[in-house]
Chain A
Amino acid sequence: QKEVEQDPGPLSVPEGAIVSLNCTYSNSAFQYFMWYRQYSRKGPELLMYTYSSGNKEDGRFTAQVDKSSKYISLFIRDSQPSDSATYLCAPQEGGNEKLTFGTGTRLTIIP
């Protein structure tokens, strides 16, 4: 079993829709939860960072963590064509610097 599972997609939604991206994980030691966005042929860029269970909002983006079920979500409201990218969840153990990435979900927003 992989430590982090993520549906690779591809996922296509119309512009303006709400997008839900999800990951599950098996490692109970994960304490920090990151979402990275990666445009084609580019490096990942940090989108959201959360520490504990609950929600964190930043503009059109909301990150949600449920440690009891080991479930991580990223919601994108009012999706835009510029949101078309691959989204990677990346949890991290406390005291351990390495990030454990999911395979990424390829998202396309259709104008």
Chain B
Amino acid sequence: NAGVMQNPRHLVRRRGQEARLRCSPMKGHSHVYWYRQLPEEGLKFMVYLQKENIIDESGMPKERFSAEFPKEGPSILRIQQVVRGDSAAYFCASSPDRQETQYFGPGTRLLVL
């Protein structure tokens, strides 16, 4: 059973470009979570999604960030008009149900030049 998959593993963008991060949950998992890890800081919750629904987006910045988890395909975290402060590791986790163990992917490291 493959674990949580994230791609790309590394992403370089120039200021003002868009970044798209993908997360494929573990097989049988319909709950996805996105966390961001800034240098020298702990992981910060961003958003929790269930298939086709955003359940909790209390950690999402108000502008430029959006997330989706369509009925088919991976979950996408989209960052528009990236700025240098967006440089971080973005981790996706999945669980089979609410309040179940969250399994993390290897992360996508975003560098904004």
Chain A interface residues (CB < 8 Å from chain B): 4, 6, 8, 32, 36, 42-46, 49, 88, 90, 94-104
Residue B48 CB within 8 A of the other chain = yes
Are A46 and B42 neighbours in the complex by a CB distance under 8 Å?
A: no
A91 to B21, CA, bound (A): 26
Residue B20 CB within 8 A of the other chain = no
List 7 A–B pairs whose Cβ atoms lie within 8 Å, in order of A's numbering.
Answer: A4-B42, A8-B40, A43-B107, A90-B43, A97-B98, A98-B58, A102-B42
A98 to B35, CA, bound (A): 9
5 nearest interchain CB pairs? A43-B104, A101-B42, A98-B45, A103-B42, A101-B43
A-B contacts counted at CB < 8 A amount to: 56
Q: Which residue of A lies closest to B3 (CB)?
A: A43
Question: What chain A residues lie within 8 Å of B45 (beta carbons)?
Answer: 98-100
Question: What chain A residues lie within 8 Å of B99 (beta carbons)?
Answer: 32, 94-95, 97
How far does the Cβ of B45 sit from chain A's closest Cβ, in whole Å?
4
Residue B74 CB within 8 A of the other chain = no
Q: Which residue of B lies closest to A46 (CB)?
A: B101
Are B4 and A98 neighbours in the complex by a CB distance under 8 Å?
A: no
Question: What chain B residues lie within 8 Å of A100 (beta carbons)?
Answer: 45
How far does the Cβ of A36 sit from chain B's closest Cβ, in whole Å?
8
Residue B33 CB within 8 A of the other chain = yes
Residue B41 CB within 8 A of the other chain = yes
Q: Which residue of B lies closest to A98 (CB)?
A: B45
* A-B contact sample (18 more), CB < 8 A, given A8-B40, A99-B43: A6-B42, A32-B99, A36-B104, A42-B107, A43-B107, A49-B101, A88-B43, A95-B99, A96-B56, A97-B31, A97-B55, A97-B95, A97-B99, A98-B48, A98-B56, A99-B33, A101-B43, A104-B42
